[in-house]
Amino acid sequence: MMSEAAVEEAVGAKVDSQPPVKMQGRMVCVYYGDSQALYDVNLDIRKNQVTALIGPSGCGKSTFLRCLNRMNDTIDTCQVKGSITLDGGDIYDASVDVVELRARVGMVFQKPNPFPKSIYENIAYGPRIHGLARTKSEFDEIVETSLRKAGLFEEVKDRLTSPGTGLSGGQQQRLCIARAIAVSPEVILMDEPCSALDPIATAKVEELIDELRQNFTIVIVTHSMQQAARVSQRTAMFHLGNLVEEGDTDKMFTNPDDQRTQDYITGRFG
Amino acid sequence: MIAYLFLFLIIAATIAYFIASRRAVAIAGNDARGLHSRPIYHGLNALVYTAIPAFIFILLWLLFEGSVIDMLLMSAYPGADAMTGAERDLLLSEIRQVAVGNIFREPTPEITAAVERFHSLNATANLLLGAAVVIIALAGAGLAVTSVSKRFLARHSFERSVTIFMIFASTVAILTTLGIVASLLYEAYLFFERVPVTDFLFGIRWEPQIPLREDQIAGQGAFGAIPVFVGTILISFLAMAVAVPVGILSAIYLTEYASPRFRAVVKPMLEVLAGIPTVVYGFFAVLTVAPALRQAGISIGLDVAPNSAIAAGGVMGIMLIPFISSLSDDAFAAVPQAIRDGSLAVGATKGETIRKVLLPAALPGIVGGVLLALSRAIGETMIVVMAAGLIAKMTVNPLDSVTTVTVQIVTLLIGDSEFDNPKTLAAFALGLMLFIITLFLNLIALRIVRKYRESY
């Protein structure tokens, strides 16, 4: 594992050529009850970039992702130490309202989880609870824009009132992405968003992720090395709760510093 | 006698089991694979063949023995042909009483002769039954044991027997229900022969009396069921008004907010509530709640009847809380965590998630629970017998005393009743109506619950 100083140095050396830091984790430790899941993770998420978190199962990458919008709060035994900032403000500070945080840091899950409501209501749900729109036409506009951004509008425009659960898996996942972007978050977290999808749907979602980068900062957990290489600009490699190494995706996949990254990417373990 | 036969069957079946399975082992020799069915199935098959046909024979015999002996007794009794059905029954019961030694008056010579005949018939019957059972059991055992061979499909044969038994088990409840419906329909038909259906369904006076003498004034009863059903609806409504909000809110608290430790303690306690006998709720209503309500009513100047609908309905509502809360609890628990996460991840609060996502998703399950509770409320008897009134008033005032369908059925059938007048038969008409209503509600509940299962 790299020492903290080494990370600072590595980050500092590149800071000029990189976009500004959107979210920053410093010395993040996570405990589930008595067992520790993450050890002193230091990681920067940069604005308008896709950051891929890779590593073998159980390495803590999803745990780290769920720290970024405090979804771990829903697990009673989970404890987070260290600091995570969003635009410089500590998101675990007592003054932070977790509801506001999640409106700014949205999330897409591994399995598509549309609400058992109509397609329209699935998208309008977030704007409605945050009061982002008042009139029917404002809602219509948000729904259409979000669906368009998620590349789903053309496929579902004639059946916005039919249930979201009736769509195919890939469409459901894009619906969930549309639902996440409908509340105009700044960061979107994606937890293996393509693991339940077939190759065609996966390609569509990946294409979408690349487009979304223009407006959003994206963190994606993936088990697919090709996917990480295709969609991300930065990659972070986790192993056994430690951040092994992070850096530009191109460098990580061609010339990683750490032997474990090399082994994992080439399929020797994991 | 019967006990000995059963003992014999058990022993014979056990012996047949061992003989057949040993034989199978012997036939198989060293090559266990050569046998189609494993020895235990040969044994079980022999056991079934030995015991079950003989057992069924005993049941059938017992079913018909009494009436056959009665018939033989009557055919030998001088002058029996001229008797009416009732006289025959009286005579038969006298013969049986004398036969077991309960002599109320000196028996006539004819009766003494009949009693002797009764004893000898019984002895013959027992002998015949014993012989037949032994023969059937041995024949079954012999058949099963001799058919043991390498290719004999003993497992198939045994499994077929088990299947037949399961079919029988699954139809018992259905057949019983059909029997109940048939008897209800028949008695209700007798009632509607005496009182027109329209009078019953649309009449607004319920005074279930019959004239004791021909010339009695005002003795003619009225059988309009509407006041009684209004009472049932009022009390059910009051009960649901208590049970639905409390049940659903407690389910929400237990699934979404409570700590696991609190839940582990409270949930079983709620379910204990479902185990309290309704008669206990009944005296709670009549001895504690009703006087308290009356006192409270007096202190604010309201006139509360001693048997108020609100006391009965309220306590019934408490009784129904566990039904609604445990079914709603299941419905909430069945909503996948992923959907909660999805809602939280767009920045919804816990309350918004519950109101806007969980409640609609769990609604079918909740409605199913509410409807099941409602049909319980409509059919509930003991609480209302104790705490509600007897007089059928047409009122929707919850502080007044009302009566319910079930209360009327109980009061109509209590005491000496003859089943040849509208007063008693009215109970069956009420029962039939109640059955139809609860059946209908249950059907709706089942449909909703089934639909709900498909949605995830």
Distance from CA of A106 to the nearest CA of B (A): 6
Nearest to A173 by CA among A154, A196, A153: A196
Find the CATH number of the domain harbouring A67.
3.40.50.300
Task: Let me know if residue A98 belongs to a domain.
Answer: yes
User: Which residues on chain B are in Cβ contact (under 8 Å) with A109?
Assistant: 338, 341-342, 345
The ipTM, to two decimals, is 0.83
Residues 6 or more apart whose CB falls under 8 angstroms from that of B361 comprise A115, A116, B335, B339, B455
- The verdict on a CB contact (< 8 Å) between B345 and A106 is yes
Taking phi over 0 as left and psi of -120 to 50 as alpha, with beta for the rest, A180 belongs to alpha
Taking only Cα atoms into account, the Rg of chain B, rounded to an integer number of angstroms, comes to: 31
Q: How far apart are CA B124 and CA B101, in angstroms?
A: 20
Nearest to A181 by CA among A102, A106, A120: A106
**Single-letter amino acid code for the residue at A204:** K
pLDDT, mean over chain A: 88
pLDDT, mean over chain B: 87
**DSSP 8-state code for residue B108:** P
Residues 6 or more apart whose CB falls under 8 angstroms from that of A55 comprise A61, A237, A238, A239, A244, A264, A270
- The verdict on a CB contact (< 8 Å) between B346 and A125 is yes
pLDDT at B169: 93
User: Which residues on chain A are in Cβ contact (under 8 Å) with B360?
Assistant: 116-117
Number of H helices, E strands in chain B: 17, 2
Task: Let me know if residue A251 belongs to a domain.
Answer: yes
In chain A, the largest separation of any two C-alpha atoms, in whole Å, equals 57
Distance from CA of B370 to the nearest CA of A (A): 21
Structure tokens at A39: 């050890």
In three-state secondary structure terms, B26 is helix
Total count of domains within chain A: 1
**Single-letter amino acid code for the residue at B251:** A
Ramachandran angles phi, psi of B356, nearest 5°: -95, -20
Average pLDDT of the residues in B374-396: 86
Task: Let me know if residue A170 belongs to a domain.
Answer: no
Residue A20 structural domain: 4-117+189-265
Task: Let me know if residue A8 belongs to a domain.
Answer: yes
Nearest to A179 among B336, B340, B346 (CB): B346
At A1, the pLDDT band (50, 70, 90 cuts) reads very low
Task: Let me know if residue A147 belongs to a domain.
Answer: no
A6 has pLDDT over 60: no
For residues B199, B203, B205, B208, the Cα torsion angle rounded to the nearest 10 degrees is 30
Q: How far apart are CA A42 and CA B10, in angstroms?
A: 76
- The verdict on a CB contact (< 8 Å) between B338 and A125 is no
Characterize the bridge pairing of strands A105-108 and A50-54.
unpaired
Q: Among 1.20.1070.10, 1.10.3720.10, 3.40.50.720, 3.30.160.60, name the CATH number for the domain at B222-454.
A: 1.10.3720.10
Average pLDDT of the residues in A24-51: 92
In three-state secondary structure terms, A220 is strand
What digits encode the pLDDT tens for the residues B33-88? Answer: 888 888 899 999 999 999 999 999 999 999 998 888 888 888 878 777 777 777 88
What digits encode the pLDDT tens for the residues A195-242? Answer: 888 888 888 889 989 988 998 999 999 988 889 999 999 999 999 999
Contact B376, B342 (CB under 8 A): no
Domain boundaries of chain B, sorted by first residue: 2-160, 222-454
